[in-house]
Amino acid sequence: MRPLIVFLACCLAAVSAAARNTTGRSFSSEFFFGAATASYQIEGAWDVDGKGWSIWDYLARTDPDHVADSSNGDIAANSYYMYRRDIEMLKELGVTHYRFSISWPRILPYGRANYVNQRGVNHYNEFIDELIANGITPFATMYHWDLPQNLQELGGWLNEEIVDWFGDYARILYQNFGDRVKHWLTINEPYVHCNLAYGYSMHAPRIHSPGIGYYECGRHILLANARAYHIYDNEFRSVQGGKLGIVISSEYVFPASDSEEDIEATRDYFEFHLGQYMNPIFSETGNYPQVMIDRVAAASLSQGYNSSRLRGFSEEQIEYIKGTADFLGLNHYSTRIIYRNSSVIGMFEIPSHEDDTYAASFQNEFWPASQAPWIREYGPGLYHLLVHIKDTYNNPLVYITENGVSTTAGLNDYNRVSYYRSYLNAVLDAIAEGCDVQGYFAWSLMDNFEWALGYTQRFGLYEVDFGDPERTRTPRKSALVYKEIVRSRTIDYDYDPDPYASNAYASSAWLLSIVFAIVNVLIQL
């Protein structure tokens, strides 16, 4: 009976969303569109111009078979050298904002602030200047998972000294780029980073500590974000006038049935995932959600620990963390359905964050699938998540900093077109509901190195030919559709461009421009 209830609920939600789609709404002129990337995933140039090793450089050399296709980010999309082409792509799309990340080991090769790599600073200065010269507003992420290997050897995110290391790094970024970068994103997706690195040991540094290291990692990220925020507040904000936010990822979740167990499990899931990072920063009280504090403490004692595996914050630390974001960067990809019954017993490793949450999930098989097993298209989920954030955390300013879906190679990416239309409709729904959403970044501008999945997943609006030394970028159908949404500020379901025809036209136009230039020179001679 439960699957039928879930199926009917999803159908009703989809019908409701479709009804809202007919209202002819548009994005306001103040709402901005952009695209997003991350340094290790696209830059390449892993050991040039003084860059130090990151934890992913180390993983690629010590455990290459851990990545699905035994690949790495040594060259990736080669954006370190091809960033001008990347900026051309942004202009082709018509977007006005670009979210990129700065490579910590490219700025501080040894992780610490005692040695700054001027060549790395010069590279980002040139890149930021080029963005601004082309009318693109930079959104710079300080940390997108490429920790300097030297710091990892000192404990990385499990060593509380990283709060000081990150603060020193942030100060150097403000000093060198803050005169032009007015939107900073401190740390990308603490839940995903800590869980995949320390919970499931899928990502670098691959340390298996799901019920202890996971919590320590998250605790130190919250303190590091606060340190970067207070340094900016005390030393730079009055002169530079920028804003800082943190990037938090979240699915939307809803109960599999109307049973009290499933409803409670859904509440718990939100608190143990979104709430773990939102509550300390965005709630009026600060600190972790109380259900987390109580449950992890009780579970820890029953498992023979002398204290809670979730190390608490002092009152001073609670106040230090609270309010340390001017806006929320929200990454969202999909929705899950939550349940709790006897089948959940023994499902998860003990101890672990999942066992502490004590809730299981699944996705509706009728939602459109993608190349990634964890992403199914369910646009209304983003609407409900934004409303949940508005109602729970006093309607913070939100930028959608990542949203996208994976496909196989090829230009006719129909499912990505469907996905973007569905989720952008959800953003319009949320704005109509009063949610303070002011911008949207598509993930990703181009195909990239997708961490442990290598190049088996394609998230790009632009297809990258990784077999070509030039790493040729070609716009997909989704790029053309996104471009039209950006231009018209509306979502036209009848617009169906042919990417092959478009690229053929672009190639011929490029050749004609060369011919005309040569003719013009000959005439002047």
d(CA 277, CA 193): 12
Q: How far is CA 165 from CA 157, 262, 328, 368, 379, in A?
A: 10, 42, 23, 43, 39
Closest CA to 186 of 159, 211, 167, 212: 167
Q: What angle do CA 325, 330, 335 make, to 5 degrees?
A: 145
Residue type, 18: A
Distances from the Cα of 364 to the Cα of 268, 371, 491, angstroms: 20, 16, 26
Burial state string for 300-323 with b = 16 or more CB within 10 A and e = fewer than 16: beeeeeeebbbeebeeebeebbbe
SS3 425: helix
Cβ burial of 282 (10 Å; 0-12, 13-18, 19+) is: buried
36 close to 99: Cβ distance less than 8 angstroms: yes
| Residue 503 one-letter amino acid | N
Length of the chain: 525
How far apart CA 27 and CA 19 sit, in angstroms, is 18
> At what angle are helices 162-177 and 118-133 packed, to 10 degrees?
50
Instruction: Name the H helices within 241-322.
Output: 260-272, 274-282, 290-302, 315-321
Q: Is the torsion defined by CA of 409, 410, 413, 415 positive or negative?
A: negative
d(CA 350, CA 75): 39
Distance, in Å, from the CA atom of 500 to the CA atom of 497, rounded to the nearest integer, reads: 9
Q: What are phi and psi of 122, to 5 degrees?
A: -60, -40
Residues with catalytic roles: 189, 402
User: Is residue 241 classed exposed, middle or buried when 0-12, 13-18 and 19+ CB atoms within 10 A define those classes?
Assistant: exposed
Tokens standing for residue 345: 């017993």
d(CA 310, CA 471): 45
Q: Write out the two tokens for 397.
A: 């300013």
- 435 in helix, strand or coil? coil
CB atoms within 10 A of CB 46: 24
